[in-house]
Structure 1
Amino acid sequence: MARKKDEALHQRRKSEILAGARACFIEKGIHQTSMQDICQRSQISPGALYRYFASKQAIIEAIAAAEQQSNADLIDHLKGAKDPANALLQALPELLDHILDHDFARLMVEISSEASRNPAVQKLFAAIDDQFQHDLNNIFAARRKFGPFGDADHTAHQIFVLLALIDGLVARAANDDLPPREQLEAMLHKTIQALFK
């Protein structure tokens, strides 16, 4: 029984540290944030922090793992669908909740900035993006057996446009430069339908 309580405490403390790190990254930028900054924001001693994360890079990797899991959840939803485009439309409200969150969007902008000067961060998030694109390509290419949906190159182009659209929305969300949610969702619904028609 005690082990379960300890594990729950461990996970809660880890989540608190990650939340503190995200807040620091958003406010100061990843490059300018120190482990001491994260300690102060998370109200934890340096010794305790290092028991959870050995370095700032380890914290970034934990943030990357969370993003990878979010991608995997969407992939799992699309995999079971006969029509992945329709499944994507069904998942659109939840997807927008995630990518249009102001803090998430600002964090992604900071990660992109850090990746431009830190090869380790660039490699980490590029691998996540590549895997997501690969999985989406496979799912949408497989639907060709249900009808004439174009060749593999066409599918790759569709996925490229979809991901570019998502990236653009994240950038605009970081700057609070978006139309009202209901209007945006309706526009995206039509756009995705047209893209995968």
Structure 2
Amino acid sequence: MIKKAKQEPTNREQATRARRELLIEAAVSCFVEDGLARTGMRDIAKKAGVSIGNLYNHFPGRDDLIAEIAKIDAEELAAVMAEVTDCNDPHKAVDIFVTRYFEHCANLTSAVLTVEITSEALRNSTVARLFSGTRSMLSDVLETAIQNGEHEAFGMAAESRTAVVGLILDMIDGYALRVGLTGKKPSKKDTQALLSVVRCVLSMGGGDKGDHPMLS
């Protein structure tokens, strides 16, 4: 079977893609600088230097912009997580997961967006659903890495695995938020400290669930 050559995007398609990227960047900038609740479509159009009509041609509403941001974030994380799934060493796979996810989240823009989107998600179920898929994807990747090393690496009871995965994700999110809000690039010391705590949690998961209050 002869494969068709991949068609290059037309000038019009390239222009449309560039315009959408500009609008997304403007939206992120507004959300970070002014807060999601205080940002309207006119603010985003002004930041992007386009008419309000042009903005609506690409994104009918603010939730559509947030949905695109969620999609881009999920795609970026999926590419990073591929490195985890390709690793056959369970210890190394978990270390890669923690390091890459922490690096992805521990910056000022991501930290402020996390605060804004979390607050909005409490009031807006649509926004909450947009980002729940990313959390599920991260949970699945980490749980698989731990499961692959249960017997020879972690010795973790199967019933503890889901609780441990949730705890590790919460720790990474929380520490990335703390580091990111400083506006400084995360240091190697930050990453090593987080890895040490995660390894400790994994070793705790190997015992009786009832022995560990955090996993009960």
When the two structures are superposed, what TM-score results if normalisation uses the length of structure 2?
Answer: 0.79
Q: Which runs of 5+ in 1 are unaligned?
A: none
Deviation at 1:151, TM superposition (A): 2.4
One of 141, 148, 162 as aligned partner of 1:156: 162
Higher CA-based Rg: 2
Deviation at 1:61, TM superposition (A): 0.3
Q: Which moved more, 1:166-175 or 1:44-53?
A: 166-175
Deviation at 1:98, TM superposition (A): 1.9
Partners of 2:158 and 2:55 lie apart in 1 by 47
Q: Secondary structure at the match of 2:123?
A: coil
Report the AA paired with residue 27 of structure 1: E
Aligned match of 2:206 = none
Partners of 2:188 and 2:44 lie apart in 1 by 37
- Please show how residues 76-155 of structure 1 align to structure 2 within 5 Å: 76-90=82-96, 93-144=99-150, 146=152, 149-155=155-161
Partners of 2:163 and 2:14 lie apart in 1 by 44
Aligned match of 2:50 = 44
Report the AA paired with residue 19 of structure 1: E
Partners of 1:80 and 1:94 lie apart in 2 by 14
Partners of 2:141 and 2:66 lie apart in 1 by 23
- Tell me the C-alpha RMSD between the 2 structures: 2.6
Deviation at 1:108, TM superposition (A): 1.1
Aligned match of 1:23 = 29
Q: 1:34 to 1:72 in 2, by over 3 A?
A: same
Q: 1:51 to 1:193 in 2, by over 3 A?
A: same
Q: 1:184 to 1:28 in 2, by over 3 A?
A: same
Q: Which runs of 5+ in 2 are unaligned?
A: 1-6, 204-216
Count how many residue pairs are aligned between Structure 1 and Structure 2: 197
Deviation at 1:117, TM superposition (A): 0.9
